[in-house]
Structure 1
Amino acid sequence: MSKDKELEIQLQFLDEALEYLGTLEDALLGLANGRIDTGKINAALRAAHSVKGGAGMMGFHTLSQLAHRLEDSFKVLKMQKASLEIDGDLEGLLLSAVDCLRHVIGCDRHNVSLDPRWLDYHANPIFDQLYERLGDPQAEDATSVLSPEEGQDIIPLFFQTEVEGCLQRLESVLADPEMPCLYEEIAILAQELGGLGEMLQLSAFTRLCESVARHLEAAPEETEAIARQALQAWRRSPGPRFDG
């Protein structure tokens, strides 16, 4: 892959990451003034997870690490909302953490090295304070993390919306005669969906995603065929029923 193409893909991801930050802020604004909106927290969890996974794959390691820490905070908000004291200070810390991600994205976008002092004396203390307030997520299965407040099973809806959106994006790339960035698209998709499978403890779905990634790495010259086969396999695989 040419350096120009690689840079184009990285910039596209960083643009998407900024959009995810909007989802995070939407879930946080006004948090201290009312009860936690489960739907917004679920959306924020998915956004943080996407930033974490995509940044890791693109080599933006600091962004991935900070997004992971923020994702853990949202998990605690989701699972322990009944016992948490949510005040203006906590809301401010969470919004400051999102601002930290925005700063890192800006540095990555302009190829500017992060100042270690900024990390040590600004960013890390914010995340450390969040950890002191919230602690680690409890060791529960991810199904409960993503279940709505009423106790209904959100996984089928989650797949219908999130996974279907990903597959439609892949279909649009395959429909383009030039198939722009197809290799990168299928590689990122396999990683994102594989991470989703792990989070929801859907082992068969996760193995399918890992298989797609292995085949793609072993035979990049067959990217189109692999992408079309993967699309069919994902469509045939109703994740919520894999392990039931």
Structure 2
Amino acid sequence: MDAGKQQILGYFIEEAKEHLDTLEQGLLDLQSTMKDTERVNEMFRAAHSVKGGAAMLGFSSIQKIAHRLEDGFKILKEYPITPDQKLESLFIRGFDPLRDLLGRLQGPFGLRDEEADQLVQEAEPIFNQLQAHLNELLGEAGISVEDEDMPVPGVQRVAPPDIVAQVTAVLRQMLQQFRQAPNPANRQELEQLCGSLLNVGETSQTWQNLIQTAQSAIANPQFSYVTLAPLVIKEIRQASELVQAGRVDEVSPSSQLRQLAAQSEKRRIALTVEPNAAAEAIIAAFNQQQLSQLIERLQTAVK
């Protein structure tokens, strides 16, 4: 695995571990958690974030388990039901395979497809029981829910297009470019992909500011993809979740991303037409990567 992909994976694992801590703490005393609306919302967002990160990196097993948990938390978030011991137990049993998958992912052998598929298959009956019990509790509470609003056991719901889904699709494309060896062509492609995200949150100045900051950082050839990829991918994905949740005022580029963007201002140097003097000026002003790119362009020009 190349260094850039390894670093992105590391960021995902660390972030996912934090989200799993949030889920575990909430589930271990679900009755108390249900009395605090914000804690329930945090659990829903935690499952949603793990699902989104896993989808972007192609870990479908983690995505599926997180999605089923998210469906359950969505019901807790939207309907005033009283949880019992059975519900708490089923949620914890559904949470365990998610923790197991993440543990295997960060282990020395990584997450093997056959093991991941088996864990997902074993978890399916648990989530079917969870959904059935949620339906029972809703019925006992006299809550009538339209069929189309309820998750159906064993059936993947097709959600309407949303900001997170749109952004995740673009981030996947950006991730593919980040995995390539840096060159002017794929750096320009990254800038264009990043720029296409401006339209996603076009009514939000905070969102546009974040995307423009990321674009500026990407544009600077002195920054390697190993440096850029984890930061850009993580900040844009997290910002999309804030926009989706109606928390656009909280969207802001980190100080690290702003620093990279600030350093991307194009420097100008004066060149004479005398080749040796021009070469000396360029060597003094350019870094190694910029020199390599310039040589490639010059070689193309003289062919």
Q: TM-score, normalised by structure 2?
A: 0.48
Q: Please, which runs of 5 or more residues in structure 1 have no aligned partner?
A: 143-162, 209-223, 230-244
Alpha-carbon contact 1:26-1:40 (below 8 Å) kept: no
**1:69 maps onto 2:115 in alignment:** no
Q: Look up the equivalent residue of 1:129 and give its one-letter code.
A: Q
Taking the TM superposition and a 5 Å limit, the aligned residue runs for 1:1-244 are 3-32=2-31, 35-81=34-80, 84-110=81-107, 111-113=110-112, 114-115=114-115, 116-120=117-121, 122-134=122-134, 136=150, 181-200=227-246, 224-225=260-261
Q: Give the letter aligned to residue 10 of structure 2.
A: L
Q: 1:136-155 deviations in whole A, cap 9, x for unaligned?
A: 26x9xx9xxxxxxxxxxxxx
Alpha carbons 2:20, 2:46 under 8 Å: kept: yes
Deviations 1:18-41 (A, max 9, x none): 121110111222224675321211
Distance, in Å, in 2 between the alignment partners of 1:118 and 1:64 is: 12
The alignment-based identity, stated in percent, is 34
Root-mean-square deviation (Å): 3.9
Deviation at 1:193, TM superposition (A): 2.3
Query: Aligned equivalents of 2:247 and 2:19: distance in 1?
Result: 24
Once the two structures are TM-superposed, the CA of residue 178 in structure 1 deviates from its matched residue by: 7.1
Cα deviation code 1:78-126 (max 9, x no counterpart)? 1112xx2411110011112221110111222231324334332x31111
The one-letter amino acid of 2:88's match is E
> Could you tell me how far apart the structure 1 residues matched to 2:264 and 2:84 are?
49
The whole-number CA distance in structure 1 between the counterparts of 2:240 and 2:27 is 27
| Gapped regions of structure 2 (runs ≥ 5) | 136-149, 152-158, 163-205, 252-259, 266-303
Q: Give the conservation status (yes or no) of the 8 Å contact 1:27–1:40.
A: yes
Partner of 2:111: helix, strand, or coil?
Answer: coil
Size of the aligned set, in residue pairs, is: 176
Output the CA distance in 2 between the equivalents of 1:49 and 1:15: 16
Structure 2 residue identity aligned to 1:86: P
Tell me the CA shift for residue 195 of structure 1: 3.9
Q: For residue 171 of structure 2, what is the aligned residue in structure 1?
A: none
Which sits farther off after the overlay, 40-49 or 107-116?
A: 107-116
1:59-93: CA deviations, max 9, x gaps? 21111121111112111101112xx2411110011
With over 3 angstroms needed to count, the CA separation of the structure-2 counterparts of 1:181 and 1:132, relative to structure 1, is farther
From the superposition, tell whether residues 227 and 14 of structure 1 become closer, same or farther in structure 2 (CA, over 3 Å). Answer: farther
Distance 1:80 1:4, change over 3 A: same
TM-score (norm 1): 0.59
Cα 1:20–1:35, aligned 2, differ >3 Å: closer, same or farther?
closer
State the structure with more CA Rg: 2
1:212 paired residue number: none
Q: 1:133 Cα shift?
A: 2.4
> Which AA in structure 2 matches 1:192?
Q
Q: 1-side partners of 2:241 and 2:9: how far apart?
A: 20
CA distance in 2 between counterparts of 1:33 and 1:39 reads: 12
Measured against aligned partners, the alpha-carbon deviations of 1:171-206 in whole angstroms (never above 9, x if no partner) come to 9xx8xx97863233222322332244335498xx9x
Q: Give, as a single letter, the amino acid of the residue that structure 2 aligns with 1:100.
A: P
Alpha-carbon distance in 2 for matches of 1:86, 1:33:
10
Q: Distance in 2 between matches of 1:97 and 1:4?
A: 33
The one-letter amino acid of 1:30's match is D
Structure 1 contact 186–227 (Cα < 8 Å) conserved: no
Answer whether contact 1:96 1:126 (CA < 8 A) is retained.
yes
8 Å contact kept, 1:53–1:192: no
Q: 123-132 or 179-188, which moves further after superposition?
A: 179-188
